[in-house]
A and B are shown apart, each in its own frame.
Chain A
Amino acid sequence: MPSIEVNHLQKTFQTKRKAAGLRGSVRALFKPEYNSIEAVRRLSFQMEAGELLGFIGPNGAGKSTTIKMLTGILHPSGGDAKVLGFVPWKERQKLAYHIGTVFGQRPQLWYHLPAIDTFLLFGKIYEMDDRETKKRIAFLAEAFEMQDLLETPVRKLSLGQRMRCEVAASLLHRPKLLLLDEPSIGLDVVAKQHIRDAIRRMAQEENVGVLLTSHDAGDLEALCRRVIIINHGQIVYEDIVSNLKRKFLTQKMVEVRYAEEVSKDFSINGVEILKIGHYGVKLRFDTTKTPVDAVMSHLSEAGELVDITVSDPPLEDVIAKIYEQARETELSS
């Protein structure tokens, strides 16, 4: 049974329209006009149990709105959904026992207390046995490498340490589904990696499904097998991550360094030169138009190669391209 089933989910917000100034305020008071915002439009998707699904989209795409509907905090304007067999907005409290949530901008840990106090409180909130809670805390402490952090007041922890504890807290009650909304926001590279590793490991060991929303493509690459790209409240693209890169990535970037100085008018047919330095060149080409073989031969014939780097453009570029394509489709239709 899929852990999440979403069918034509829809959410429209009405916000009051208010003109500037005092007159506008008075008018808004007596004759309010409303703007309709379609935050989510006929969204449909499924997520299997234990799957690692990513939800990516720019600000205002409808990610947070979708998550809120899936956790039962928000009622949809249309459509239906089932999470772990529950209808979220009808059975919110029951569902809450089985899901964990981490919202990057909304902390769960009590600010003035050591993390462990929040853990113990959560144990009571989820009606866990005291002994069970303590065992679970010890287990999570090891899994997330938090042993020395638990007794420190949360306000004294760095953001990375705090997020680790937050994610651990969300797993205390052995949820079957973990919903993460921008978990790595504001974290440095090392901290991000730590969090991603910990999440991935826990997901595998405990067969927890992970639904992750982000606009950091690195989160997706590291954690998710499948990704849904959402924009303007609709699904724009959906596929597994590796396919995504392969289908949209026909460009390669190459950086070479030569033993002798490079001539200023270094060029190769069908290749875009990005930068020419004293000894190095950076270039980009489309593999569907210019064969890799040809480019490589040209490069090695041009001089004595000392170093070479070939890379894919980052996933961000892929996604930006998808947004662009989607927008063009929308504009032309």
Chain B
Amino acid sequence: MKSFKKYWSIFRITLINSLAYPGELIGRSLLIIPFMWIFYQLWKITFEAAGTVSINGMTLYSTMWYLMMAETIELSRPALARTISENVKDGSIAYILNKPYSFLLYQFSNSMGETIFRALTNALFGSVVVWWLVGPPPAPLGWLFALITIFGTWVLNYCITCLIGLSAFLVEDVSPYMWIYQKLVFILGGFLIPLSFYPPWLQTIAKALPFAAMVYGPSQLFVTPSLELFVNVLLMQFIWIVILGSTLVFSYNRGVTYLTVNGG
């Protein structure tokens, strides 16, 4: 347990560090305000045109709070893939191997430190806007379920972005993969449009993949908290964490072996 203390301190330092530039933190989060507003325009008109109060079980109210949660999740991601790919490219990853901590855990603690306050300010500003537009947030149970599953989201996101970053061992340039990953989250995670509005066949596909568990899961739970969905999401997250996590560890070890055998 003592070894985990150091990761906690890394997390704490990054956390405090992210507060060092409050202007930057707040500035970034301000963008959620116009985004929420524009979503509101879009969905208000769409619901009006459809002529019904609820579509596929979602009302304008729940759609807006869903999107707020989704935006919060999406906008708080740190640029991990680029950092790691740079570490690989310039060989500094080799120096990290000398240190008495695990590279993977270090990066995780680091990125968590960066994420937390960003997510908080995003959620804060987003909530204020959506509250003003459609009314108060959903019941606390929704908050609880969302909070728990968000942690799984962060772990999954970490695994994937870390893997992309490590692919710098194989490819010259990892940015295209980040773009594709982000778009997959957009489409299959139900990020810009709640997943419930998708054609059924697409929903099935999406729900089998990790992206839905990352965005749709917490966001839907936030507005329609149900135990069944909660368990479902947790299960999906767990399965994918196992799969992606082990892929990550495996790839990392392969990379390290390659490095130590072949040099930087």
Contact = CB atoms under 8 A, between A and B. Distances in A.
A22 B19 CA distance: 9
Interface string B15-28: 00001001000000
Contacts of B19: 22
Contacts of A22: 19, 22
The 3 closest A-B pairs by CB, nearest first: A25-B22, A22-B22, A22-B19
3 contacts: A22-B19, A22-B22, A25-B22
B182 to A, nearest CB: 27
A25 B19 CA distance: 11
Interface string A47-87: 00000000000000000000000000000000000000000
Nearest to A26: B22
Nearest to B21: A25
Interface string A12-43: 00000000001001000000000000000000
Range class of the A interface residue count: under 10
A20 to B, nearest CB: 10
Q: Give the dominant DSSP class at A's interface.
A: helix
Contacts of A25: 22
Contacts, number: 3
Interface of B: 19, 22
A227 to B, nearest CB: 39
A25 B22 CA distance: 9
A126 B138 CA distance: 66
A25 B24 CA distance: 12
B18 to A, nearest CB: 13
Interface in A156-200: none
Nearest to A25: B22
A22 B23 CA distance: 11
A22 B22 CA distance: 9
A22 B21 CA distance: 9
A25 B23 CA distance: 10
A22 B26 CA distance: 14
B17 to A, nearest CB: 13
A85 B187 CA distance: 64
B91 to A, nearest CB: 15
B53 to A, nearest CB: 46
Contacts of B22: 22, 25
A173 B233 CA distance: 68
Nearest to A29: B23
A224 B19 CA distance: 50
A70 B19 CA distance: 40
A51 B224 CA distance: 81
A25 B21 CA distance: 9
Nearest to B22: A25
A25 B25 CA distance: 14
A32 to B, nearest CB: 14
A270 B117 CA distance: 70
A22 to B, nearest CB: 7
A235 to B, nearest CB: 40
A149 B22 CA distance: 48
B206 to A, nearest CB: 41
A22 B16 CA distance: 11
A148 to B, nearest CB: 27
B37 to A, nearest CB: 27
A269 B96 CA distance: 58
A191 B103 CA distance: 39
A232 B19 CA distance: 36
B1 to A, nearest CB: 32
B219 to A, nearest CB: 32
A24 to B, nearest CB: 11
